[in-house]
Amino acid sequence: MTSQTSPTPRRHGSTLADYTPFAHLSTPNAPLYRQVMRAFLVAKERFAVHLRPEDVYAALDAGSPPADLEAVTQALDKLVEWGNLRADPDHARVTAVEDFYRRRFIYQLTRAGEAAEAALGTYDEVLGRRGELQAVALHDIVTQLRALLVIAMEDEPDPAKTYVALSVLTARFTDLADNARAFMGSLQRTIDLHDIEVEAFLAYKDRLIQYLERFIQDLITLGGRIALLIGELEEQERVGPLLRLAAAREAADAAPEEAERAEAVAYERWSARWSGLAEWFVSGEGRESQARLLRGRALNSIPQLLAVVRQLNERRAGRSDRSADFRTLARWFAQAPDDAARHRLWRVAFGLHSSRHLTVDADTLAERAATPEPASTPWSEARPLRISPQLRRTGSYERRGKPRKVADRGEAKRRLAEIAARQTEETRRARDRLVTGGPVRLSRLGELDPPAFQLFLRLLGDALATWRPGMTTTAATSGDGSMEIRLTAVDDGSTAEVHTPDGVFSGPDHLIDIVDLTVGHGHAAASASAPVPFPVPRRDTAPQPAEDR
């Protein structure tokens, strides 16, 4: 009686041999090997340790080649040879002496095979990720920053609360940044894609543009608020102590001899994370924030998508491009029977007929009137044309003289500078006029001059753009992030009137609070440290018109 031995994995003799579990990816039967390994991973999730060839065969995808058990057994043996699987003798089904002579094994994953599948799963996940623009993550970041601001105000901040708040903030920000990068990359690949199904893309286009518009609106509304909260924490110099608390808690379980070094490394890591968060939302001198760049790319992608749609519509209408026209013309030249036909095709296609004159003067006209030259006269038989030696020598009749004097534009530049200074001063006065210093009724704004009224209309439009049905309070930041407006509806049915030199602006009365973010953050800080006074807007509803509220 002979004992049965299993094929054993080859021992690795070099560093490169440690990667033999990936060898099945470059073989002709790679799809089968991937399915077999996937069957073992599924079995592992169900806490199954060993699989027989019959179990693996039953777990394969229906209809996937090959469809016989012998091919699966050969694939299992090859995976054992590469170190992905381990084979052990299957003595459980031995009922007779003859069964010992049969080749029966049970298989299980090795550590190397499991690690290789984990790496391949991560590769497939990252490669296939389309990403998303997470507006919900923006709301979560605002919430966590406000929680950090409340913790920072305490005399002795709680290390556990600090660590949890910073960890959640870092996780949400990482998700936002990674998904935004993946989404914009997939969006650019969609824009650059040429061989695309027209109907599917046209149906996808409308939803994608609406998705981009909603995210851009949320990024404008919440990006300024996040930048304000980050500025509050940094101005009060409370970020450093919070980061040190988080680093100390993270290094609490380190060995005594490594505690100081582990805390320093953890603090450096937390400082880098906070710096990345700040640079993502806050612009610096000579550097735009990543949020602003993302908003610009999202805005630019909308006309690019529309251009793709226009190209697809032209393709569907049967219109050819210039390159196709030239290829067709080249075929016509190749199919022409002789040179005379090719010359005629050239003249018809490009209109480059023979020139019979370069200039006409009174003598030429008189001579042509006396003895006309038929248009059918060949060039070689036509009367010669006498041209000026200057034209022959220089190619132009223009008489060169003194160049024009350089215009002095100093006065125009001075006037432009005065206009720019005056507009800047008007904008500053308008901002000072609109700052309320706290919630006031819209009807008590009083009379506004034209610059202040124009700024007021822009702020009011930004606030109403974020209004959703069922809301009573909303807030918005101006496009340049310099001002914030908070609008609260009142239920007394009163009407507000704002008088301007051009007329009276009237509508339902509201409580309004306008803050200048460039002067100071006193009032905004008090608002930011308090709980959110208004509900998070729903994303599946449209803005409510003013007359419906």
Span 181-192, pLDDT tens digits: 777 766 666 666
Token digits of residue 135 = 């507006």
Average pLDDT estimate for 495-516: 87
d(CA 126, CA 252) in angstroms, rounded, equals: 34
For the chain, first and last CA: distance in Å? 92
| Structure-model confidence comparison of residues 504 and 374, the more confident one | 504
Q: What is the pLDDT of residue 192?
A: 60
* DSSP codes, 99-165: GGGS--EEEEE-HHHHHHHHHHHHHHHHHH------HHHHHHHHHHHHHHHHHHHSSS--HHHHHHH
- pLDDT digits over 125-136, tens only? 665 555 455 667
Over residues 227-237, the mean pLDDT reads 82
Does 385 score more than 70 pLDDT?
A: no
DSSP one-letter string for 216-268: HHHHHHHHHHHHHHHHHHHHTT-HHHHHHHHHHHHTTTS-GGGHHHHHHHHHH
Q: Is the pLDDT of residue 194 over 60?
A: no
Return the pLDDT at 190.
63
Is 136:518 a contact under the CB 8 Å cutoff? no
**Alpha carbon distance 534, 429 (integer Å):** 30
Residue 332 has pLDDT above 90, yes or no: yes
The domain locations on the chain are 16-127, 131-314, 429-548
Write phi, then psi, for 504 (nearest 5 degrees): -115, 130
* pLDDT per residue as tens digits for the range 506-544: 888 888 899 888 765 434 333 433 333 333 333 333 334
Average pLDDT, the chain: 76
**Predicted confidence (pLDDT) per residue in 44-64, tens digit:** 888 787 888 888 888 886 555
Residue 289 sits at the vertex; the CA angle it makes with 286 and 293, to the nearest 5 degrees, is 105
How high is the pLDDT of residue 352? Answer: 66
Among 268-277, 425-434, 462-471, the least confident range: 462-471
Percent pLDDT > 90 in the chain is 3
| pTM, rounded to two decimals | 0.39
Q: What is the pLDDT of residues 398-431, one digit of tens each?
A: 666 666 777 888 898 999 999 989 888 888 888 8
Q: Higher confidence at residue 3 or residue 359? A: 359
The helix (run of H) or strand (run of E) holding residue 378 is none
pLDDT at 509: 87
Instruction: Give the pLDDT mean for 215-235.
Output: 81
- CATH for 16-127? 1.10.10.10
